[in-house]
Amino acid sequence: MMERAPHSPMAGTGWLEGWRLTFGGEDIGWEGALATIVEDPGSRVFVVLYDVTPLDEAQLDRWEGDELGLHNKIRLRVQTMDGSVLAWLYVLDAYEGGLPSARYLGVLADAAEAAGAPADYVEDLRTRPCRGIAT
């Protein structure tokens, strides 16, 4: 996020209840499948919240392929230690399936760990099936 939204400070962490982290869009042409979320009662996803500036929002939209229609931006409730907040999330507009690259999965796990995700959540990320060897 520091590269893609340098003017948007971290605003906290929380859980997206009733959703699950998954991967899709492997056929789009990157090094593997991309992270996204899907509804799944009983599951939850650790998330980091940011106070995104309008300038950074426009840059994130471009980064996420707004002009290509790769993602939908949806607003969901995130459960934080201070209560429930509404947040914007990018959801991949592609079929679920495929494997992320080891490098990409490592970036996600490192970011979750740095943000304070529980150790078992980070370990689950680090041990997910993936393509290739982490660099």
**Domain residue spans of the chain:** 10-126
Mean pLDDT of the chain: 87
Among positive and negative, which fits the CA dihedral 88, 94, 98, 104? negative
Structure tokens at 15: 């859980």
Is the pLDDT at 90 greater than 90? The verdict is no
- Where does residue 82 rank: exposed (0-12), middle (13-18), buried (19+ CB within 10 A)? exposed
Task: Give me the CATH topology for the region 10-126.
Answer: Hypothetical upf0131 protein ytfp (3.10.490)
- Where does residue 130 rank: exposed (0-12), middle (13-18), buried (19+ CB within 10 A)? buried
Structure tokens at 18: 């009733």
Predicted local confidence at residue 135, as pLDDT: 46
At residue 8 the predicted structure's pLDDT band, cuts being 50, 70 and 90, is: low
Q: Which residues on neighbouring strands pair with residue 84, listed in sequence order?
A: 79
pTM surpassing 0.95?
no
Among positive and negative, which fits the CA dihedral 108, 110, 116, 121? positive
